[in-house]
Amino acid sequence: MKVKPAKRTESVKEYYFSQKLRQIDQMRKAGADVISLGIGSPDQPPSENTISALSSEAVRPTSHGYQSYNGIPALRKAFADWYRKYFNVELDPDSEILPLMGSKEGIMHISMAFVNPGDEVLVPDPGYPTYSSVTNLVSGKVRYYGLYEDNGWYPDIQKLEDTDLSRVKLMWINYPHMPTGAKGTARLFENLVAFASKHGFLLCNDNPYSFILNTEYLSLLSVDGAKDTALELNSLSKSHNMAGWRIGMVAGHREYIYDILKVKSNMDSGMFRAMQTAAVEALGNPPSWYETVNAVYSRRRRIVEEIMDILKCRFDKKQAGLFVWGRIPDEIKSCEEFVEEILTKAHVFITPGFIFGSRGDRYIRISLCADEKPLQEAKRRINSHQSLKTNHQSPV
């Protein structure tokens, strides 16, 4: 008789991309040349000095032992300097910053540190699926709040005020927003901090997309008094092309950071020192490095916008981040079938918006993490597929 898994596993399903990557792998094994424009995994490399720092530190005999749970001092200082330079936020590197093995790890650590069974967690819809899955894993109660295009993909605070918030412990926000690409504003953050402070819950901003096709760097912690009620996650995954390195951070009040450290220190044994040293170098990249990376993304986005036009999808050209988010035509009955047809007929994978929540049901997302040549090929295939469909539907 096999041992049954814990009940908490019943609250989550296999990640959508895990299933689709398996399907794409099977298609490729059968001979199909599938172009994947689904996942936001940066395909450009980190800066040369970052890789050199990794190599130099890795050959030191003393670099391979256990490291401290809260990161080397140089990394915490580099994060503090980065926040001061770009976000105009002062952070104490000794007590207000905790390096993480990616910000996704931080979502789990924060939830474990603050959410008790039955506590309500406000989760954006559409939004990053991990917010809800982690809440379920820690036995919290997911409470979705809708984001709407006609409201700039911002929370309707007044609508939330008209509800019972007495059991809310935590609220997730994410600006620049994934998947919509909406940028936050100082006014929005001020209103959200006041809202969280009034009702006594923790406000958490997941902020990994600030440097992608965006120069309006904004941190939730720049709001006066934010540290008393807010935390911010950040990551080198998108901003520095280091997704596989798993290096991130959480910043906020020293008491909150200590609460998270209590969880984290029981789950890992520190990050490889060479990676921390390399991250210090990455955080010191000059503004010109970000500009070079974004020049590539800008060229790619023009092609992706042309793909959106071919698909007759409506989109906002002011989006930030690694994706283009577009609304499908009204005559399309099913977004899932729409995307599946493009995959099976044109052999191009794009992401259906419903995986980010019910409010994303009429949208698709296309990643910029592919070179211009495959993007142009994807455009050609989709254009050909759409032309065939149109001709087939036209009267003889």
Write out the DSSP string of 114-162.
Answer: HPPTT-EEEEEES--HHHHHHHHHTT-EEEEEE--GGGTT---HHHHHT
pLDDT averaged over every residue in the chain:
95
First-to-last C-alpha distance (Å) of the chain: 63
Give dist(CA 252, CA 243) in Å, integer: 23
For residue 51, what pLDDT is reported?
98
DSSP 39-52: -----SPPPHHHHH
Report the Cα 320 to chain-centroid distance in Å: 12
Give the helix ranges, DSSP H, for 66-121: 73-87, 103-114
Q: What domains lie within the chain, and their CATH numbers?
A: 7-45+288-393 (3.90.1150.10), 48-285 (3.40.640.10)
How far CA 54 is from CA of 38, 244, 276, in Å, comes to 30, 14, 8
Which parts of the chain have pLDDT scores under 50? 394-396
Tokens of 275: 């990676």
* 3 state SS of 204: strand
Give the list of residues 6+ apart from residue 334 with CB closer than 8 angstroms, or none. none
For residue 169, what pLDDT is reported?
98
Residues 19-48 pLDDT 10s: 888 999 999 999 999 999 998 899 999 999
Give the list of residues 6+ apart from residue 89 with CB closer than 8 angstroms, or none. 83, 219, 221, 222, 251
For residue 298, what pLDDT is reported?
98
pTM, two decimal places: 0.94
Tokens of 13: 């399903």
Give dist(CA 135, CA 11) in Å, integer: 9
For residue 20, what pLDDT is reported?
85
Give the list of residues 6+ apart from residue 97 with CB closer than 8 angstroms, or none. 71, 76, 79, 80, 91, 249, 250, 251, 257
Residues 255-269 pLDDT 10s: 999 999 999 999 998
Q: What strands lie across the sheet with 248-252, from one edge to the other?
A: 97-100, 248-252, 230-235, 202-206, 168-173, 120-125, 141-146
